[in-house]
């Protein structure tokens, strides 16, 4: 079993409880992506909204400045450091 899950939102949320689950996973909108640990609690949340997301197993999360933050760019990350 891999240690992390790469989760990408591919569809819009239509119900409030699904929206709260999506928000709990750290997703902010369509095409946003996050890497979460492969734990039973995250797997349960993913199961509730499986029709709205895609999931891939991975050994470790990607550590790019864009990972998990939709719309982020390396230029914005550099500006925050100054």
Structure tokens at 58: 């991975």
Residue 16 lies in a domain: yes
E strand segments, 2-82: 4-9, 33-37, 53-58
Residue 70's DSSP bridge partners are: none
Strand (E) or helix (H) holding 19: helix 16-25
Separation CA 4–CA 56 (nearest Å): 9
Residue 61's DSSP bridge partners are: none
Residue 43 lies in a domain: yes
**What is the span of the domain harbouring residue 44?**
4-60
Give 58's Cβ-side CA count (13 Å radius): 12
pLDDT digits (tens, 9 = 90+) for 20-48: 999 999 999 999 999 999 999 999 999 99
Q: In this predicted structure, what is the pLDDT of residue 59?
A: 86
Q: In this predicted structure, what is the pLDDT of residue 69?
A: 54
Residue 12 lies in a domain: yes
Q: In this predicted structure, what is the pLDDT of residue 8?
A: 96
Residue 68 lies in a domain: no
Residue 82 lies in a domain: no
Which CATH number is 38's domain given?
3.30.1390.20
Q: In this predicted structure, what is the pLDDT of residue 64?
A: 57
pTM beyond 0.85: no
- How many structural domains compose the chain? 1
């Amino acid at each position: 079993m891999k240690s992390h899950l790469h989760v990408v939102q591919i569809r819009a949320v239509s119900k409030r409880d699904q929206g709260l689950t999506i928000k709990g996973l750290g997703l902010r909108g369509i095409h946003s992506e996050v890497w979460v640990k492969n734990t039973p609690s995250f797997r349960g949340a993913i199961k509730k909204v499986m029709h709205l997301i895609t999931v891939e197993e991975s050994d470790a999360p990607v550590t790019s400045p864009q990972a998990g933050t939709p719309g982020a760019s390396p230029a914005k990350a550099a500006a925050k450091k100054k």
